[in-house]
Amino acid sequence: MTQEGFYTDPPSRRMGFDQDGTVVLYVNQNGADIYELDVTEKQALNDETGETLFLADDRGDIGVSDIYDIVFMFPEKRSVSQIWTVVRRHGAPQQNPEGIGIYWSDDSTNGVDGTWVQSASAFETWSSETANGGNPYTAAAPEYRENLENVSIDSAKCVKFRFRCTGKGWFGDNRFYAFHLYGLKTPGETPHRIDFVNAAGSEFSQDFDFGDQPRGTERIWNPEDGFNLAQPLFLRNRSPEKVAYNVVLSMQAFTKDMHTRLRLSADNGVSWSTTLEFTEIQPLDKTGVIWVRHEVEDDADLGLYAARLKIDVGSWE
């Protein structure tokens, strides 16, 4: 949602696949071994920290080429427009995993079966180390925004990214520093939902960004200050027939102390809170404006700060 530093603007919406019902699979040796990532592991993929997610491989044969997939099974059909991944082969830093193909399916039930269409024959993977084993990269490096790779996947239920890793006599594992997906739900999917929209009721197609904010300043996203989006924030019930009850808007911090920096307001900045609650939102109605305040201390650490707004609906009736 927000960051500090001279980074390229977000090109689209980064998917919250660790929270939105997406199933993420690690498939080794062409489907012979399938492992489902848990919530903590999905969060490790979809963050901005330098922490790694270790996925076992244990191929120790010299010269053996191992192929494996990272599969995303979405709760509804989606379009994917950009990706970013940082991955390294532990034990053989000179042979980092190579992205050899991107595929999508609209009928796979387990990430392996079904009809798959190849979208790209290869893709870039950023190693977490240079060839000589030094200077680690993380997802918070400038490449996190500046070197996103464009892809063209429209209305897919499943997307998989295929890697090749060549063994060099080591027993090791594949270490993922990050895997970010950008894109939107396919129009018409999941009709009973709450969207982040502008004053006209249109869903935002780009992440919000406070930009390069100096220390000791306060910035507020409101009707006058829309920053990179140039639009105020509303919530809209997309359902044509169901009422959304007990809607809670909250903030989840990705980096550093964002939980102490962000506050929300639904009364034009008169009062501020870490969460906002709405008893009900009628079919097709929108509510707002939602104000978002970001304060930076005088002695704040320099670097990237990121968080996201999350919507929970108590019930649909």
pLDDT digits over 161-214, tens only?
998 876 554 455 677 888 999 999 998 888 899 999 999 999 999 999 998 889
Peptide linkage before 289 cis (omega within 30 of 0): yes
Q: What does the pLDDT read at residue 140?
A: 59
pLDDT digits over 276-301, tens only?
999 999 999 999 999 999 998 898 88
Question: What tokens were used for 278?
Answer: 């709405």
| C-alpha to C-alpha distance for 29 and 101, rounded to whole angstroms | 15
Q: What does the pLDDT read at residue 187?
A: 87
> What's the burial of 281, exposed, middle or buried (CB within 10 Å: 0-12/13-18/19+)?
buried
Q: How confident is the model at residue 267 (pLDDT cuts 50, 70, 90)?
A: very high
DSSP state of 186: P
Q: What does the pLDDT read at residue 30?
A: 57
| C-alpha to C-alpha distance for 215 and 5, rounded to whole angstroms | 12
pLDDT digits over 29-62, tens only?
655 688 899 999 998 889 877 677 777 655 444 4
Least confident segment among 17-26, 214-223, 256-265: 256-265
Helix, coil or strand: residue 266: coil
Neighbour count for residue 136 (Cβ, 10 Å): 15
| C-alpha to C-alpha distance for 85 and 247, rounded to whole angstroms | 33
Whole-prediction pTM: 0.88
Least confident segment among 95-99, 116-120, 200-204: 95-99
- Round the average pLDDT of the chain to a whole number and report it: 84
Q: How far is residue 191 from each of residues 199, 203, 277, measured CA to CA in Å? A: 20, 13, 22
Is residue 133 within 8 Å of residue 89, measured between CB atoms?
no
Name the residue type at position 175.
R
Helix, coil or strand: residue 40: helix
Q: What's the topology of domain 23-185?
A: Jelly Rolls (2.60.120)
Beta strands in 61-148 (DSSP E): 65-89, 98-105, 117-120
Q: What does the pLDDT read at residue 95?
A: 60
Quick one: what percent of the chain has pLDDT higher than 70?
83
Each domain of the chain, given as residue ranges in start order, spans 23-185, 194-316
Pick the CATH number of 194-316 from 1.10.357, 3.30.190, 1.25.40, 2.60.40: 2.60.40
| C-alpha to C-alpha distance for 238 and 281, rounded to whole angstroms | 10
| C-alpha to C-alpha distance for 295 and 289, rounded to whole angstroms | 19
Q: How confident is the model at residue 312 (pLDDT cuts 50, 70, 90)?
A: very high
* Per-position b or e across 112-124, b if 16+ CB within 10 A of its CB: beeebeebbeebe
Q: Helix/strand/coil (H, E, C) string of 191-233?
A: CCCEEEECCCCCECCCCCCCCCCCCCCEEEECCCCCCCCCCCE
Residue whose C-alpha is closest to residue 152's, from 65, 79, 252: 79
Residue whose C-alpha is closest to residue 18's, from 69, 80, 72: 72
Question: What tokens were used for 264?
Answer: 């929300």
Quick one: what percent of the chain has pLDDT higher than 90?
54
**pLDDT mean over 118-146:** 67
Enumerate the β-bridge partners of residue 295: 218
